[in-house]
């Protein structure tokens, strides 16, 4: 069996658009007619440019290769161009293609992917979700309203979720790490207080930031909210300032989590070795794929750290996250995004029940992709998957920031 054909689909999720402006889906077919699906979580170049990168990686390092030879293909890509170091864009391309290889192998053997990478340890995976606005919530007011956030939190906890994430700490910008404004600190405290009062002990609070703070600013914000005992403090400073993140971890009594912007075991090893985070959040469509992220999870296990796969993408990356999570002794939880489009794109082949993801038992990734639906939603703008704010933050009022992808009209 050899990898033979590649097709790339850029699909843009309809309203409300949670998961980013677009998803890069790859469809790989073997000479025996087996098709595997993957998703590339790569956003530093536009999707048109990224399709050329994906094709180059496939044709140069993977075409005509047996999909079993994951390690060989990884080493080819990792070493490409005399590098042998993490490359966000190239590894993002490989990650989605690698996921497709596992989907092929599972289908060829009539086994789910988790059965091929260590076996099923977990029958269901604890899920968490972001606090997204509901249709009746006014925008942009929602992003600074602790009362509206608490309303959404109660609704999700009533559905069975035991952890909810929110990020009221102001925008992430193209500038260096900044000191949070007092308005944003007070808003963050209000979110934690209102949500904790609303849900009580039924759910953990996951406090999200996006690497926007200076070291001192991150410590200041973390110490302001630690009284509410969040389960984690996500990426408080830029991800490559590892020793500085370790300073934050030592100064704040909240576990630090990081990883959505990191790729390969090389980068995660530095974080774990420095004590910069106790929770790692690889995005499998960027971190190197399923096998490389299995290695990352093993490194985390040695450091007594837990794994919480990140998801701000489509349901194919989610399916890969779930297959990996089923095998991990140190899984904490998986991020989920519940929209009608996420569900329809994989024909409801992954379900969430009482706040837990049921691990699929069907062959491969365990999903059935609606290819026609994916093709029916092409990208129509030229923005990146996520984008940072160029202007500095405001120190005169709370910052209303909806994230790096626009909210689409739900009417």
Structure confidence at residue 10 (pLDDT): 97
Structure confidence at residue 32 (pLDDT): 98
Below-50 pLDDT ranges, the chain:
none
Structure confidence at residue 398 (pLDDT): 84
Q: How far apart (Å, rounded) are the C-alpha atoms in residues 34 and 27?
A: 10
Q: Tell me: the pLDDT tens digits for 211-229?
A: 999 999 999 999 999 999 9
How many helical (H) and strand (E) elements, i.e. helices and strands, does the chain have?
13, 13
Structure confidence at residue 47 (pLDDT): 94
Q: For residue 391, what is the DSSP state? A: S
pTM beyond 0.95: the answer is yes
CA–CA distances in Å: residue 88 to residues 50, 53, 204, 405 = 12, 12, 31, 20
Q: Where are the alpha helices (DSSP H) in 169-275?
A: 182-199, 215-225, 242-251, 264-274
Homologous superfamily assigned to 115-364 = Enolase-like C-terminal domain (3.20.20.120)
Structure confidence at residue 410 (pLDDT): 66
Structure confidence at residue 411 (pLDDT): 61
Q: How far apart (Å, rounded) are the C-alpha atoms in residues 143 and 232?
A: 20
């Amino acid at each position: 069996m050899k990898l033979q054909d590649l097709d790339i689909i850029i699909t843009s999720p309809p309203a409300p658009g949670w998961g980013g402006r677009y998803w890069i889906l790859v469809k790989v077919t073997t000479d025996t007619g087996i098709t595997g699906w993957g998703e590339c979580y790569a956003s530093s170049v536009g999707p048109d440019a990224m399709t050329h990168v994906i094709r180059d990686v496939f044709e140069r390092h993977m075409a005509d290769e047996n999909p079993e030879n994951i390690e060989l293909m990884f080493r080819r890509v990792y070493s490409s161009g005399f590098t042998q170091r993490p490359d966000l864009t190239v590894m993002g391309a490989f990650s989605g293609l690698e996921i497709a290889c596992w989907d092929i192998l599972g289908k060829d053997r009539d086994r789910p992917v988790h059965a091929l990478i260590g076996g099923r340890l977990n029958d269901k995976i604890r899920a968490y979700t972001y606090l997204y606005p509901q249709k009746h919530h006014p925008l942009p007011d929602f992003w600074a309203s602790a009362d509206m956030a608490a309303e959404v939190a109660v609704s999700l906890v009533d559905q069975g979720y035991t952890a909810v994430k929110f990020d009221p700490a102001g925008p992430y910008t193209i500038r260096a790490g900044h000191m949070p404004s007092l308005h944003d600190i007070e808003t963050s405290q209000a979110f934690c207080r209102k949500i904790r009062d609303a849900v009580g002990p039924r759910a953990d609070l996951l406090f999200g930031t996006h690497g926007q703070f200076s070291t001192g600013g991150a410590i200041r914000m973390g110490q302001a909210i630690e009284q509410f005992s969040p389960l984690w403090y996500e990426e408080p400073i830029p991800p490559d300032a590892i020793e500085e993140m370790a300073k934050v971890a030592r100064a704040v009594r909240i576990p630090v989590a990081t990883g959505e912007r990191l790729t390969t075991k090389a980068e995660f090893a530095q974080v774990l070795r420095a004590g910069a985070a106790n929770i790692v959040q690889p995005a499998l469509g960027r971190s190197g794929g399923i096998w490389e992220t299995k290695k990352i999870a093993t490194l985390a296990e040695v450091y007594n750290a837990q794994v919480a796969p990140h998801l701000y993408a489509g349901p194919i990356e989610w399916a890969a996250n779930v297959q990996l999570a089923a095998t991990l002794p140190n899984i904490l939880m998986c991020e989920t995004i519940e929209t009608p489009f996420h569900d329809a794109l994989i024909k409801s082949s992954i379900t969430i029940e009482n706040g837990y993801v049921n691990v699929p038992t069907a062959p491969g990734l365990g999903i059935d992709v609606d290819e026609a639906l994916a093709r029916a939603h092409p990208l129509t703008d030229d923005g990146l998957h996520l984008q940072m704010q160029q202007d500095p933050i405001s120190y005169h009022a709370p910052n209303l920031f909806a994230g790096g992808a626009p909210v689409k009209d739900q009417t």
